[in-house]
A and B are shown apart, each in its own frame.
Chain A
Amino acid sequence: MFGYVMPDKPELRIREYEIYRAYYCGVCRAIKARHGNLPRLTLNYDITFLALLLSSLTEAEPRIQAGRCILHPLKKRKFIINSEILDYAADMNVLLSWLNLKDKREDDRSALALAGLSLLKPAYERVKARYPGKSKIIHDRLKELAELESNCCDSIDAAAEPFAKLMEEVIAYPLLCKNEKNETLLRWMGYHIGKWIYTIDALDDLEKDIRKKSYNPFLCQYDYRGENIKAFKDRILNNTRFVLTYTLSEIANSFELLPFLRNKEIAGNIIYLGMQKKTESLLGKEDRFERPVRSAGNT
């Protein structure tokens, strides 16, 4: 359920886009340095946003270097180096990917997920040992989520709660949370990002879940009765747009109060444009635009 938090690329300046990509490549490199090559494949945009956000609130100026990598061997790319924040983001990426795969495996006994799990296991154990408190909380939240889903929870808000709390925990980077104000703002933002991701993902999965007869909070809350998917989406459109926009407005409220030291334009682009466009495209108004990109790539 990851990879929705991304910038609206055409609205970024080239310089800003280069910085954004340097964070993306930086996290990828950090994963390699800490956990080896294979876990790099799980890198996603949400974690890039996490790295960019946390680094923009930290005094230490990020250092940029250029180099080649196995995915892009021909052209040198810029990337951020040696940052504790990138290491943290890399670890959280491993943690979330592992739990995501575990969820998939339990859902539909996917063999691919099982293979992924066994490949990620050593990295996951390392991260778990490094952040015992956080990984326990995250683990517990996912358990709550699984329970709600197996009981066919018929409130989207209730179903989204565990994942919202989980993202709150991920974004609450311990070093920045030494400052109480920062902690309040980061947790508020994390909670709402989690809520938005969960809801948008459920919206994205509507067709698949109808086909496979799996759980989807939208189908339960709005009492789906086998109607045409387009008609169903039209029926839920107004309410869903209102709630998603409201959630985004709360992310923006905390964004405006966070003490950014750099990159505020890029983060603002993601929050005000990228996430809004994603919302509209999944609500079905802008189907002609792209579908979500979920995995690593050179975009």
Chain B
Amino acid sequence: MKDPYEVLEIHRGATKEEIQNAYRRLVKKYHPDQYRNHPLEKLAEEKLAEINQAYEMLMKNGGQAGSGYYDGGQTRSRTYGGGSGDSIFQQVRVNINKGNLHQAEQLLNQSTVRNAEWYFLKGIIFQRKGWYGEALSHLHTAVQMDPSNPEYQSALNQMNYNNRVYRDRSGGYGSGGMDFCELCQCLICTDCCCECLGGDFITCC
């Protein structure tokens, strides 16, 4: 068992509030939504289990039996079942779920139909392979051909979500410092305010 403080990335003797904040932050980071239908999904689940265990231990020691505990195990990954019932597409879905991408791709290429579901499945295979440009254009085509299908739209949304999470984290990483224009604006504002109050921040103006 790993050191729970290390797992939660906090110092020893952290307050209850600090533990809870760290826990919330980490659960968000390794949330199943982020790794759904992802080759790293299992590893993310393990990590989340580790975080839960650490949190439970620390909260128990503090006299609190795991309040607000997040059960990652309940959110099972969505599998690509259902669909139109076309037998080849069914087989393709089974193979995607098992991770046999090559097999899935071959089956799909044998099909003569080129409907929205075909483009959707092709897009999912591309996404799993790491071919994101192709994935995006195939999923777009699927959504265009059948705009009312929630499955196709949600696959596209998932890709957008991934990008948003990355950008949010980038924003949180640096100091988020001002660029030069903002800095100037800020200084000028400061100067104006000072002048209103009878002082002066930038003496020449």
Residue pair A181, B133 in contact (C-beta under 8 Å)? no
Interface size, chain A (Cβ < 8 Å) = 36
Output the least CB separation between B99 and chain A (Å): 12
Q: Roughly how many angstroms separate A252 CA and B38 CA in the complex, as a whole number?
A: 13
Residue pair A185, B40 in contact (C-beta under 8 Å)? yes
Q: Does A54 lie at the interface of the complex (its beta carbon under 8 Å from any beta carbon of B)? A: no
Output the least CB separation between B105 and chain A (Å): 13
Chain B residues with CB under 8 A of A10: 177
Using A157-B126, A239-B136, A256-B30 as known contacts, say yes or no to A245 and B173 having CB atoms under 8 A apart: no
Q: Roughly how many angstroms separate A59 CA and B175 CA in the complex, as a whole number?
A: 30
Chain B residues with CB under 8 A of A35: none
Using A8-B174, A242-B136, A273-B173 as known contacts, say yes or no to A257 and B44 having CB atoms under 8 A apart: yes
Chain B residues with CB under 8 A of A254: 40
Q: Does B34 lie at the interface of the complex (its beta carbon under 8 Å from any beta carbon of A)? A: yes
Q: Roughly how many angstroms separate A184 CA and B167 CA in the complex, as a whole number?
A: 24
Listed stretches A20-28, A82-90, A129-137, A187-195; interface member? A187-195
Q: Is the interface of A mostly helix, strand, loop or mixed?
A: helix
Residue pair B133, A239 in contact (C-beta under 8 Å)? yes
- Binary contact track B2-27/A, C-beta < 8 Å → 1, others 0: 00000000000000000000000000
Using A257-B47, A273-B173 as known contacts, say yes or no to A155 and B133 having CB atoms under 8 A apart: yes
Chain A residues with CB under 8 A of B201: none
Q: Roughly how many angstroms separate A272 CA and B162 CA in the complex, as a whole number?
A: 14
Q: Roughly how many angstroms separate A254 CA and B41 CA in the complex, as a whole number?
A: 10
Q: Roughly how many angstroms separate A10 CA and B175 CA in the complex, as a whole number?
A: 9
Residue pair A253, B40 in contact (C-beta under 8 Å)? yes
Q: Does B165 lie at the interface of the complex (its beta carbon under 8 Å from any beta carbon of A)? A: yes
Q: Does B43 lie at the interface of the complex (its beta carbon under 8 Å from any beta carbon of A)? A: yes
Q: Roughly how many angstroms separate A15 CA and B175 CA in the complex, as a whole number?
A: 16
Q: Roughly how many angstroms separate A185 CA and B126 CA in the complex, as a whole number?
A: 19
Residue pair A188, B40 in contact (C-beta under 8 Å)? yes
Chain B residues with CB under 8 A of A276: 167, 170
Q: Does A100 lie at the interface of the complex (its beta carbon under 8 Å from any beta carbon of B)? A: no
Q: Roughly how many angstroms separate A269 CA and B167 CA in the complex, as a whole number?
A: 13
Output the least CB separation between B7 and chain A (Å): 11
Using A11-B175, A245-B166, A249-B165 as known contacts, say yes or no to A181 and B136 having CB atoms under 8 A apart: no
- Binary contact track B123-141/A, C-beta < 8 Å → 1, others 0: 0001000111110110000
Q: Does A158 lie at the interface of the complex (its beta carbon under 8 Å from any beta carbon of B)? A: yes
- Binary contact track B161-186/A, C-beta < 8 Å → 1, others 0: 01101110110011101000000000
Q: Roughly how many angstroms separate A246 CA and B169 CA in the complex, as a whole number?
A: 13
**Which chain A residue lies CB-closest to B29?**
A256
**Of A184, A247, A272, the contact of B170 (CB 8 Å cutoff):** A272
Q: Does B81 lie at the interface of the complex (its beta carbon under 8 Å from any beta carbon of A)? A: no
Q: Which of B29, B167, B170, B177 has the most CB of A within 10 A?
A: B170
Residue pair A252, B40 in contact (C-beta under 8 Å)? no
Q: Does B159 lie at the interface of the complex (its beta carbon under 8 Å from any beta carbon of A)? A: yes
Q: Does B35 lie at the interface of the complex (its beta carbon under 8 Å from any beta carbon of A)? A: yes
Residue pair A164, B130 in contact (C-beta under 8 Å)? yes
Using A242-B163, A273-B174 as known contacts, say yes or no to A158 and B131 having CB atoms under 8 A apart: yes
Q: Does B147 lie at the interface of the complex (its beta carbon under 8 Å from any beta carbon of A)? A: no
Q: Roughly how many angstroms separate A221 CA and B136 CA in the complex, as a whole number?
A: 14
Output the least CB separation between B101 and chain A (Å): 13
Output the least CB separation between B188 and chain A (Å): 21
Residue pair B173, A268 in contact (C-beta under 8 Å)? yes
Chain A residues with CB under 8 A of B169: 252, 272
Output the least CB separation between A266 and chain B (Å): 11
Output the least CB separation between B130 and chain A (Å): 6
A interface with B by C-beta (< 8 Å)? 8, 10-11, 155-158, 161, 164, 181, 184-185, 188, 191-192, 195, 221, 239, 242-243, 245-250, 252-254, 256-257, 268-269, 272-273, 276
- 8 A-B pairs closest in CB distance: A249-B166, A157-B131, A11-B174, A272-B173, A272-B170, A246-B132, A243-B133, A245-B163
- Identify 18 new A-B residue pairs, CB closer than 8 A, beyond the known A242-B136, A273-B170: A11-B174, A11-B177, A155-B133, A156-B133, A157-B126, A157-B131, A157-B133, A158-B131, A161-B131, A184-B43, A185-B40, A185-B43, A188-B39, A195-B130, A245-B166, A245-B167, A249-B163, A252-B169
B interface with A by C-beta (< 8 Å)? 29-30, 34-35, 38-40, 43-44, 47, 126, 130-134, 136-137, 159, 162-163, 165-167, 169-170, 173-175, 177
Q: List 18 A-B contacts (CB under 8 A).
A: A11-B175, A11-B177, A157-B132, A157-B134, A158-B131, A188-B40, A195-B130, A243-B136, A246-B163, A249-B166, A252-B166, A253-B38, A253-B44, A269-B174, A272-B166, A272-B170, A273-B174, A276-B170
